[in-house]
Structure 1
């Protein structure tokens, strides 16, 4: 069987294994209920610091109160000026947090919500150039709005995150849960003011409406663990032949 590619994030995977009650090598161990501080080598690019498990992940401070994630450096914005196609364009936020537009020049946009950016561009054009301009700004691509999906999903990888996307949306982006995934062991990691937090979400409960579907934010990491019983069943099916239904086997 050809192995699927995996996103190599060993620091996160190892920490999640401790929380899920297993090791990366597959040996079972009891879950502690409260995350153990995890320290790894910074020379490998892995996480250094304490990993804390919480029941629910708080929203990033920049999005508190339900506001959207602000524009960030390296974001690509699409700016549409109604009935003025010469002013409509796609621009990238530079390293100083600014964009450059015709007639009005450079505008600082990093750290501001899209609606605030729209308002600022509208003011800049209406001051001297356009009467009642109608301007729309959208994020075409954003490094800061990507989510990493790893573990037992159809397609591990880093994906652009649509606005107001939820955990189930992210799992769908990753091709859904694999045949051996444990829907009870889905972990979401988030950095809050330099603190790495993790929460365990039961996808079965979410789908049944017994628990809310949490919103995800750029930078989040979703890790889906495997089910030991499903692995055993899959191995048995492969040993007996996939085409042979287990229920039909004659057991003496």
Structure 2
């Protein structure tokens, strides 16, 4: 039993595997809110989420809005940073971004870190030290622990779970972390969910085609949720919405100490 099944059983929720099995019975003659994903036009179909915002089907996921040209994710609360000032060892600190998104450093005090990239924060710290204390300071930040660099992989994989990922992780990397597909997992029904502004976007990727070089191997970002459906399932918007809710709920339960 994986962490998702344990978490759902403890919370009294149905397993995602059961949901995916039920999706096999979905009718292809449903209304637009439950229409087969194969018939949905990219960006034309969406459904409201319980927590606010909407779930929207797209052909391909864009990089998160808060990345810098899709190259670097911002820092978030609870990240642990090692801040080093070149040739000024007594200013070096290991700090954790607090719940309000701030860190505290010698001489310059509190600074907002959450929502900024490492490079942006380095420049702001250099400016703060350079304004009163140092001449041409050189600051380097190393992210020792990153809460934001975790993904959730669920559904028909061998090892559903929450995994840390590097800044260059791809969809194939994520599937490999979860041990690949199980006996009923469909490589053509891999759905990736991503926060984008106030909404959640979801796109369907065919891993077989990616492995064959027919399609690009998309980048995966911290916070993404990847769900693999069963080979015989007929997927509808409601199935996608419910799968996201179960995977996200299980992830939140699983990380509680």
Q: 1:187 maps to which residue?
A: 191
Do the aligned residues in 2 keep the contact of 1:125 with 1:133 (CA within 8 Å)? yes
Q: 1:147 maps to which residue?
A: 151
Do the aligned residues in 1 keep the contact of 2:47 with 2:56 (CA within 8 Å)? no
CA deviation map 1:121-165 (0-9, x unaligned) = 122233343344332112222333321111122321122232132
4-13 or 175-184, which moves further after superposition? 4-13
Do the aligned residues in 1 keep the contact of 2:158 with 2:182 (CA within 8 Å)? yes
Match status 1:226 vs 2:250 = no
Q: Which has the larger radius of gyration?
A: 1
Q: 2:244 maps to which residue?
A: none
What pairs up with 1:73-152 in 2 under 5 angstroms? 73-152=77-156
Do the aligned residues in 2 keep the contact of 1:23 with 1:29 (CA within 8 Å)? no
Do the aligned residues in 1 keep the contact of 2:83 with 2:141 (CA within 8 Å)? yes
Q: 1:170 maps to which residue?
A: 174
Q: 2:25 maps to which residue?
A: 27
Measure how far apart 1:198 and its partner are: 1.1
Partner SS state of residue 65, structure 1: coil
The higher-RCO structure (CA 8 Å, 6+ apart) is 2
CA deviation map 1:64-102 (0-9, x unaligned) = 623422222332222123343332222111233221111
TM-score computed with the length of structure 1 as normaliser: 0.72
Cα separation, partners in 2 of 1:39 and 1:121, compared to 1, 3 Å:
closer
Q: Structure 2 stretches of 5 or more lacking a match?
A: 29-35, 234-257
Q: Structure 1 stretches of 5 or more lacking a match?
A: 230-252
| Runs of 4 or more above 6 Å deviation | 9-12
